[in-house]
Amino acid sequence: MSAFRSIQISSPNSSCLRAICHMHPKAIPSGQLSANAASITRSRIHLSYRRSTFTTSSNSANKQSSFRFIWNEVKKSPLQYFTIPSVAAFVGLTTNWMGVKMLFYPIDYVGTEWYRESPYVPYGVFGWQGVVPCKTEKMAARLVHIVTERLLTVEEAFGRLDPNHLAQLLLPIIEDELLKDLPQYYGEMIIKLIRPVLPYLLGRVMANLQKEIDGILDLKSVVLEAFVRDKKVLVELFQKVGRVELDFLIESGLGFGFVLGLFQMMAWAVNPKPWTLPVGGAVVGYVTNWVAIKLLFDPAEPVDVGPIVVQGLFESRQKEVSEEFGKFMEGRVLHSASLLETLARNGRDGELYTFLRRQLPYPVPEFVLDTAVRAVAKAANNPKDYPELHQYMTSMLDIEKTLSDRLQLLPPKDFEDLLHPVFQEDEVILIAVGGVLGAIAGLMQTRLGWGGPGATLKAAATVFVVSVTSWGYFIFKEVVETPEEVCIEEQEFVVRPVAMKRRNTLVRVAPEVIPEWLDFGDRYQ
């Protein structure tokens, strides 16, 4: 029987017991065999449970001991260890700031052309050009598509003009040009002859021009040329409409970098290897850029998470961005001067001259048609000399309100295309630059002894430099870079700093769940 017990203990399963019973039928009765098998199975489950409980408790103890070890290490030299999240926050702020600057500057390529594949690639071996200036044509073409296909048509805009009133405003300019080109006596005689019929003819011509304006004035070329001719215009547009997003992209690096720096600090306390801080710095620089860009545009549609509404920062500012976009486009791109200049382009070889020749009877001399085209060009090139004409066209075309209202009606996903292309182009390069700069900062920490057992003076100097530099950015931004707006008060021009406005944050709380004591209304608007 003792032999059987030893076999049962070493091989406790029912198949072994059945084999033993088969060899010695009188040794163990069949009923007892079933009971023994059940008992042994329960014993195995119990032992397994005790083993898993012991493993879980030992893992928990290990975790507690690890955190206790980290805490004890940090307490030994807190100032030195505090440099790690401080420098990580500075790295996050710096890399994001540099990434934003690399989007827009320099306007022209700086460096050598070695291994630069084409003028549309922003980088060479030793050189860089801002992503937006480098790819102006591509980005401008996308903007042109949005403006001309979704927001505005030239027929609609010019259809708002009164042809007779426009003719009356152009008539004095045409007469001045006739007097300038012809001898005084002959010019005055010509004007006396055509003056009775010129207002009627000009009014009819303007009415027909409205009907055929789409074939004469190419709105796409007006917008595209404005951006391509001066790359700074497109840069200023993106910086203006994306001001809040770009600020968030830079400033979020400070917070994200500090949080990631805490994990970097714990990793250094547990494993103070030469590669720990450089790798951690690379992760900080890479992740802060990547996360910030994602938060700008995702999610495009509002998502309810309990009482909180989560939406991409850019989409949440659709109304404000639309107003800024309309104002910029009317003032810098689709203003009356640019429209008239495009209309009168190429003189006798242009569309306007051909149209006038087709509309006016042949007894009207060609020099009169030339004069009319030059008069339009003169009005376009000298807006200050003809303020009434330009004010009338600006008010009637109403480009700002039209673009703003229709841009606000776009679905968030389509609205996102207004700014997202800036970050989509060479996004990987910008994020990778953040990782490289973060690794360099971590390497400096390792070489100079920061973050580990090092001199207190070094650590204090590090924290001081990082803090002063970070705060210096915000002070410079608020004091030096504060934009100015021009206001008209009682016919006097007054320049004053732009009033600070509360930003729309990435996360918004639904109004119905705001406690009454927290609802400040429009007090800070």
pLDDT in tens, 237-288: 888 888 888 888 888 888 888 888 888 888 878 877 778 788 888 888 888 7
Helices 318-328 and 399-408: angle between axes, nearest 10 degrees: 150
Count Cβ neighbours within 10 Å for each residue of 357-385 and write b for 16 or more, e otherwise. eebbeeebeeebbbbbbbbbbbbbeebee
Q: How confident is the model at residue 494 (pLDDT cuts 50, 70, 90)?
A: very low
pLDDT value at residue 425: 66
DSSP codes of every residue in 391-403: HHHHHHH-HHHHH
User: Per mean pLDDT, which of 163-172, 306-315, 440-449, 512-521 is the most reliable?
Assistant: 163-172
Kindly report, residue by residue over 91-139, the tens digit of the pLDDT.
788 878 888 888 888 888 888 877 777 777 787 778 888 888 888 888 8
Cα–Cα distance measured from residue 393 to residue 158, given in angstroms and rounded to the nearest whole number: 9
| Helix ranges (DSSP H) in 77-135 | 78-104, 131-134
Indicate the length of the chain as a whole number. Answer: 525
- Number of other residues whose CB lies within 10 A of the CB of residue 428: 8
The vertex-498 CA angle with 492 and 503, nearest 5°, equals 150
Residue 319's closest CA among 248, 409, 419?
A: 409
Q: Is the pLDDT of residue 197 over 60?
A: yes
Residues 6+ apart with CB under 8 A from 494: 486, 487, 488
Using alpha carbons only, give the angle 117, 122, 123 rounded to the nearest 5 degrees. Answer: 70
- Read off the pLDDT band of 463 (50, 70, 90): low
pTM here is 0.68
Question: Whose structure tokens read 């203990």?
Answer: 9
Tokens for 33, please give them: 């065999």
Residue given tokens 């007006």 in the structure block: 222
Residue 378 to residues 18, 203, 268, 360, 423: CA-CA distances in angstroms? 112, 19, 71, 21, 41
What would the pLDDT profile of 128-182 be if each residue is shown by its tens digit? 888 888 888 888 888 888 888 888 888 888 888 888 888 888 888 887 887 776 6
Over residues 371-398, the mean pLDDT reads 88
Q: Is the model's pLDDT at 40 over the cut of 70?
A: no
508 contacts: CB under 8 Å, gap ≥ 6: 308, 309, 310, 311, 316
Q: Residue 263 burial (CB < 10 Å; 0-12/13-18/19+)?
A: middle
- Confidence check: pLDDT of 474 > 70: no
**What pLDDT score does 287 carry?**
83
322-335 mean pLDDT: 88
Nearest C-alpha neighbor of 299 from the set 318, 316, 322: 316
Helix (H) or strand (E) holding 170: helix 163-181
Q: How many CA atoms does the CB half-sphere of 319 hold within 13 Å?
A: 2
The pLDDT score that the predictor gives to residue 260 is: 83
The CB-side HSE value for 67 (13 A sphere, CA atoms) comes to 5
The gap from C-alpha 51 to its chain's centroid, in whole angstroms, comes to 54
